[in-house]
Amino acid sequence: MAALYSPICFHNNPNPSPLFFPNSPKLTKPRLKSPILASALPPLLSTDVTSVGAPFDGTTLAVVGGGGIAALAAVLSLADPEKRRQLQAEEVGGGDKEVVKEYFNNSGFQRWKKIYGYTDDVNKVQLDIRLGHSKTVENVMKMLTDDGPLKGVTVCDAGCGTGCLAIPLAKEGAIVSASDISAAMVAEAEKQAREEILRDYTDGSPAPVLPKFEVSDLESIDGKYDTVVCLDVLIHYPQNKADEMIAHLASLAEKRLILSFAPKTFYYDLLKRVGELFPGPSKATRAYLHAEADVEKALQKVGWRIRKRGLITTQFYFARLVEAVPA
């Protein structure tokens, strides 16, 4: 179970320092009836720029090790998951964006609402992904509050999902503009925000300003914000589109841009392709991995540099988290 509690390190090159401090809150270990089973992952270093993969929508994942990797690679070279992806796009009359919108307004909404929520009606993989995502949110909050109070700070939460980040930001006094491509996600986020924020202010004391939620894709977001955050969204964009999105998000941010993404390595790209061979009964979106060097290059092109970088890992959730500032 070591991977479930991997340390997360952020660093200003070249000397890494631990993100968690002794007095920071820690997530409690989820109680499971039986242990989560997963293949051991190779040792990872916080300074390795391309060392982790990403969470995927499937509920099972077969992994082979040792000499089986070469044989598996040969089998995968004959597979054609792209054909399945093209069929998905044709069914909804468009490309990646239409597939993502369709998915997260229907079966994907129901699935990820459970993962992001508090229900016990999740399997062990979904519970592990919930833990990984909550670690990401916790660490973004840590990064933001380390620089001072958030009261009055304007934040754009691009791809807000069910409000997992927007809600704690608002509780800290930030002025939050949150958006998602899925109308179902936005409706759920608004509901959760009202319930979680206003319930603590029934005595008449002034409540924090509720986040402003809207349905929008990344390309359509406008305005200027102190900080722009985009978590676990770039996985839906191929690299050329991701470059455009990074440039657009950077143009909205005055002081800071925080991104999380699924890093591309041979090992985790292989795992992704295994998952594509066994898509299961439900339809999922295309999953794109991104080399950290490519993300950094996209930021540099628009005059930004990475100030902090980190790694979040559980057994089924892997993400890089970077904080960029104007160069």
Walk along the chain (327 residues) and give the pLDDT tens digit of each residue: 333 233 333 444 433 333 433 333 333 333 333 333 332 223 323 333 223 333 333 322 333 334 444 444 444 444 444 454 454 444 444 467 888 888 888 888 888 888 888 888 889 999 999 999 999 999 999 999 999 999 999 999 999 999 999 999 999 999 999 999 999 999 999 999 999 998 878 777 888 999 999 999 999 999 999 999 999 999 999 999 999 999 999 999 999 999 999 988 555 565 555 555 544 444 445 789 999 999 999 999 999 999 999 999 898 898 999 999 999
Record the pTM.
0.70
CB 115 within 8 A of CB 257: no
**3 state DSSP class of 208:** coil
DSSP β-bridge partners for residue 313: 318
Quote the pLDDT of residue 8. Answer: 38
In this structure, what token pair is assigned to residue 244? 């455009």
DSSP β-bridge partners for residue 312: 319
Quote the pLDDT of residue 187. Answer: 97
Domains of the chain in start order, with CATH, are: 2-20+47-326 (3.40.50.150)
Quote the pLDDT of residue 270. Answer: 59
Quote the pLDDT of residue 202. Answer: 76
Residue with tokens 């657009």: 248
Sign of the four-CA dihedral 189, 194, 199, 200: positive
Closest listed residue to residue 246, CA positions, set 201, 206, 304: 304
Q: Which helix (H) or strand (E) holds 193?
A: helix 183-198
In this structure, what token pair is assigned to residue 314? 């559980």
Alpha carbon distance 155, 169 (integer Å): 8
> Largest Cα–Cα distance in the chain?
66
Closest listed residue to residue 13, CA positions, set 227, 228, 310: 310
Quote the pLDDT of residue 281. Answer: 44
